[in-house]
Amino acid sequence: MQLRTQGAIIGAGPAGLMLGALLAHRGIDSVILEARSRDYIEHRIRAGVLEQGTIDAMDEVGAGARMHEHGLVHDGALLRFAGRSHRIDFRALTGKAVMVYSQHELVRDLVAHRLAGGAPLAFEVDDVALSGIETARPEVRFRRAGQAAALGCDFIAGCDGFHGVARAAIPADRLRVFEREYPFGWLGILADVAPSSHELVYAYHDRGFALLSMRSPSVSRLYLQCAPDEDLAQWSDDRIWAELAVRLAADGLTLATGPIIQRSVTPMRSFVAEPMRHGRLFLAGDAAHIVPPTGAKGLNLAAADVRFLAEALVAHYKTGRVDLMDGYSARCLKRVWKAQRFSWWMTGLTHRFPEASPFERRAQSAELAYLAGSKAAQTTLAENYVGLPIE
């Protein structure tokens, strides 16, 4: 079967779905191809902190109603160490806030929005292969329900994640990879219990980092620093809650506990692939970069990528301009590296590194104390956390 569209989008995560919505909003056709089922992507628990730019993009395409109804606006966050809490007031320091709204809910909204508009979205495709990306007529071949198809297009957006096929289609001698593996992971749980704090709590403890987050007023999301290959079978519900209580303890906090409905271990890495464009192939989101989740930047970087890409493609189709397409990679990477720096810094500030010397541990404690007492340092953290201006 031979098909034709203006844009082929590989992957129906936040990046692919948002790009499709932005393009449709501007009258540009696209087809989205997704390897997983609709049910899988709509229940895949991931990040949940949205910057204003991501919120604006959802509103622009008309998919933000449920987000505003259920999202939790946070004007600040708590930094907890040495038995005390210190609030970072985002609103007072920057005039901005963030919104807690789970990624799978955002995906659900974008899927419903796309299907309601009748735009093509194919689930459970396999054997995806890209060709002609250095020509003016690239093509994506795939199979769906056993039937082979070829999708001709003007451009391909690789939004298919770290393990996808898009980045692998770029010749190895054209790609530079920058990567760091961290010596720990996050044991994350989803619990059917109201959050013990109405704002996120980032906790440094001698036993390791902990994070108290939430997905709704009745569902908590919490994390523990652990070994990257931690055996979940060794972590009973009681052990998880006991460890969280120790690491989050401060100012008389009583940690509310409840049924754990999901648990997983997430390895931690920093990763950037340069450039993010090769010929008619544009990488976006996790296909091009991974950040440690400490800084809440992964989803927001993906949204920024596709906003830049949509702007470039609209300029190309509406006015014939190519400068924004040519500058796509450099523009994205400028933001990506700032987010990488912040996520790396936040991770180093709040985690216990097993190889750290006694000197490095004392210096880490001193940096936490400086941050707690310095408005200038808090402003730097707040500016990065709520999202740097779009350039």
Catalytic residue numbers?
Answer: 74, 202, 293, 297, 385
- If one counts every other C-beta atom within 10 angstroms of the C-beta of residue 355, the result is 6
Distances (CA, A) of 387 to 14, 90, 181, 295, 340: 17, 11, 24, 10, 13
**Phi–psi pair at 345, nearest 5 degrees:** -65, -45
Contact 33, 126 (CB under 8 A): no
Residue by residue, what is the 3-state secondary structure of 287-349?
HCEECCHHHCCHHHHHHHHHHHHHHHHHHHHHHCCCHHHHCHHHHHHHHHHHHHHHHHHHHHH
290-328 CB burial, b ≥16 within 10 A, e <16: bbbbbbbbbbbbbbbbbbbbbbbbbebbeeeeeebbeeb
Name the β-bridge partners of 86: 79
Q: How far apart are the first and last CA of the chain?
A: 42
Max CA distance (Å), the chain: 65
**Alpha-carbon span 89 to 121, nearest angstrom:** 41
Pick the closest to residue 269 from 180, 162, 345, 186 (CA basis). 180
Q: Which amino acid is at 272?
A: V
Q: Which amino acid is at 232?
A: L
Number of H helices, E strands in the chain: 12, 21
**Alpha-carbon span 309 to 276, nearest angstrom:** 11
Question: Which DSSP state fits 117?
Answer: T
Distances (CA, A) of 20 to 3, 7, 68, 120, 183: 17, 9, 21, 9, 37
**Alpha-carbon span 128 to 111, nearest angstrom:** 21
